[in-house]
Amino acid sequence: MQVYSFEMALLAIFLFLFNIQGYLCIFDVKVSVLPPVVKVGGNITVGCSYTLDNERLINVKYLHDDREFYSYTPSDKIPDHVTAFFNVTNTILNNGGVVVFEGVHTDATGVVKCVVSTEAAGTVTSSSVLSDSTFVTVVEEPRESPNITLKSKKFQIRKEVKANCSSRGGAPLANLTWYVNGDEVDNSDTSRIKQYTEKSDVNSSVSELTLPVLPGAYNGTIHLRCEATQFALYNASTEVLLEEEASSSSSMLQFPFTGRVGGGVVISVAVSVIHHSLQRYLS
């Protein structure tokens, strides 16, 4: 009985607000930044759409990382206000609160938010606020193509190939992907990849590849490629060819040896000898 009375009380309060102040309804707030990813020097267009129902608009604000750069207040003598704190070449205000920034730089990367404030029709004591946000990225290309470093361009069977790939500069730092003989490499039971940021006066993206060389996996050569990407706006790669050392697959031979030990136990022994020593012995 008490639960029923509580629900009835809530319903009465809702009906009172609906009848006296009007139903507070602002919906479909949607901020747009086009394009969401752009190169340094490009343009971005910011706009916001919304729907009011029985409400009066107080203002619309655009914020970048919580800093206001545009506001529209219809009650003001000059309703539109633009504060361009970005590093841009030009700012254009179009109809409908559409702001165009030309020649943007990396400081424009961040969260863009649209905040719409309204009040119920016929009252100044009841207001509502609704917002929407999105992320914009301004891409600055790396200073140079990715660079591959390794101890040797020779490899041996049953040994590991260790290689580093680095991409210097850029914002955001480039994503690095390894390819071996045309196939993309990922972390698995056989290969390992370690990615990290190397910080200095100019930060670098670094990827370390550890690739075990299994017998029969490669036909004398390994084609390594490191690809650096930033979204769909930047793509560069560096390649290096590794060759098998002439002695790595022929320097060791194995002979199965079977014998009996006391008690009748049979054992197998793999005897490995250096190939050139064996040749000397047989000659």
Residue 17 has φ and ψ, to the nearest 5°, of: -65, -40
At 5, the pLDDT band (50, 70, 90 cuts) reads: low
Q: Which residues of 208-234 are buried (b: 16+ CB within 10 A; e: fewer)?
A: bbebebeeeebeeebebbbbbbbeeeb
pLDDT at 31: 98
Measuring CA to CA, which residue among 160, 265, 266 is closest to residue 213? 160
Measure the CA–CA gap between 226 and 239, rounded to whole angstroms: 7
Question: pTM for this one?
Answer: 0.74
Q: How far apart are the first and last CA of the chain?
A: 107
Beta bridge partners, 115, equal: 61, 131
Measure the CA–CA gap between 184 and 148, rounded to whole angstroms: 16
| Residue whose structure tokens are 């009011």 | 52
CA distances from 272 to 136, 155, 232, 249, 277 (A): 62, 20, 52, 13, 11
Measure the CA–CA gap between 85 and 64, rounded to whole angstroms: 10
Q: What angle do CA 76, 79, 81 make, to 5 degrees?
A: 120
pLDDT at 26: 65
276: CB partners within 8 A, 6+ apart: 251
Q: How many CA atoms lie within 13 A of 213 on its CB side?
A: 23
Tokens describing residue 113: 């938010």
Measuring CA to CA, which residue among 1, 25, 48 is closest to residue 118? 25
User: 73-127: per-residue pLDDT in tens?
Assistant: 999 999 999 987 889 999 999 999 999 999 999 999 999 999 999 987 665 557 7
Number of CB atoms found within 10 A of residue 276's CB: 11
Do residues 139 and 172 touch, judged by C-beta distance below 8 A? yes
Among 31-40, 185-194, 196-205, 243-252, the range scoring the smallest mean pLDDT is: 243-252
User: 202-252: per-residue pLDDT in tens?
Assistant: 999 999 999 999 998 898 999 999 999 999 999 999 999 999 988 655 443
Do residues 209 and 227 touch, judged by C-beta distance below 8 A? no
Higher pLDDT, 146 or 282: 146
**Domains in the chain: ranges and CATH:** 26-139 (2.60.40.10), 147-244 (2.60.40.10)
